[in-house]
Structure 1
Amino acid sequence: MSDIEKLKLILRESDSPFFTDEQLQFYLEQNDNDINKTAYECLLAKAEDDSIALPGGLSLPNNKDYWVRLAKKYRPNGSKIL
């Protein structure tokens, strides 16, 4: 399985498409091919406000909390050698 395919699984792209393969490749390269760092960054991007309000009072809720909760699994710990 390629890194792009792994990212698509982590990001739940089959259920909630957001990124193109080219975008995923870009973010992967920006994060030194680290899948966890890339997943974290992309999940936070998906957490942007996506609520929708339609005429007539119909609305779709924001999924931000879901994506942030998922991103926490891949958050870098920030520890470095001093």
Structure 2
Amino acid sequence: MDDLTLLKLLIQEKKYPYFTDEELQGFLTVNGGNVKLTAAKLCLMKADMEKSIKVGPITIENPEPEYWTNLSKQYMTEYQQESNTNNVSSGYYNTSMRRADEI
């Protein structure tokens, strides 16, 4: 699954459409391609949406803002956990050093 498709799934874009594909791709680019970080930010944007959106003859009711805020917190927590896992060091001490001639 590509990043754009995953992002659309996480922010439930099929059920609650709000962004164009170009906008979503732009947000992904701005956030360094990180899907969870982008999803967290976009959920907060969806929290500020109107109570309903009219798409042609169809009116789509949106969830309460707390729904999007809670979803955003979940994705932000997952993003931070992933970031911490990727930045794990071997401890407080440097266990290897470069030779003076390598510097």
The equivalent residue for 1:66 is 67
Normalising by structure 2, report the TM-score. 0.62
CA contact (8 A) 1:4 1:25 kept: yes
The ranges of structure 1 where at least 4 consecutive aligned residues each deviate by more than 3 angstroms after the TM superposition are 76-81
Whether contact under 8 Å (1:50, 1:63) holds in the other structure is no
Report the number of matched residues.
Answer: 74
Task: Name structure 2 gaps, 5 residues minimum.
Answer: 53-60, 89-103
TM-score w.r.t. the length of structure 1 is 0.77
Which protein shows a greater Rg? Answer: 2
Percent sequence identity over matched residues?
Answer: 34
- Compute the RMSD of aligned alpha carbons: 2.4
Relative to 1, partners in 2 of residues 1:62 and 1:50: Cα closer, same or farther, differing over 3 Å?
farther
List alignment gaps of at least 5 residues for structure 1.
53-59
